[in-house]
Amino acid sequence: MTVRTKMQVLKGMYAAEAEYLAAGGPGEASFEPLAEFFSPQVVLHQAEALPYGGNWRGHEGMERFFLEMSRTWESFEMLAQDFLTPSDTAGPLVVLTQVRARSRATGRRLEFPILQTIEIQDGQIIDIHPFYWDTAEIAEACTNV
């Protein structure tokens, strides 16, 4: 088995995610290419105020999260990513992503940053904390009142 660096794991996951979404995403594409990058014990901590808020656990939780994301967003493009920590850091990696998205419910388009801390253990992602600048704006854009 080849040992991957933290940065290889992270960049591999983002590439697999892009392929997964391009192939149709949840309900259309297999989650398998993504699963290898996530520990079976992975936890994704999304802000409660978001339409897909809460803690998503394990591979099943990640699959359900991607399904909720696809129900929320008609499109979700990662325009630019800045990897803000050295790949050999002992702690979590920090990634700043600029996103352009379009809400399914309202058709509203948004551009916003997401700052994530991502912990990698034994060659797999074990913990993810995304931080949004304005969860209220995102929730409002995704709510058809």
Answer yes or no: are the C-beta atoms of 75 and 47 closer than 8 Å: no
Report the topology of domain 6-141. Answer: Nuclear Transport Factor 2; Chain: A, (3.10.450)
Q: Tell me what pLDDT residue 87 has.
A: 67
Q: pLDDT (tens digit, 9 = 90+) per residue, 73-109?
A: 888 888 999 999 876 778 899 999 999 999 999 999 9
The length of the chain is 145
Q: How far is CA 68 from CA 27, 58, 79, in A?
A: 11, 15, 21
Q: Any idea where the domains of the chain sit in the sequence?
A: 6-141
Answer yes or no: are the C-beta atoms of 139 and 51 closer than 8 Å: yes
- Per-10-residue mean pLDDT for the chain, 145 residues long? 79 87 76 92 96 95 89 88 82 93 93 96 95 93 79
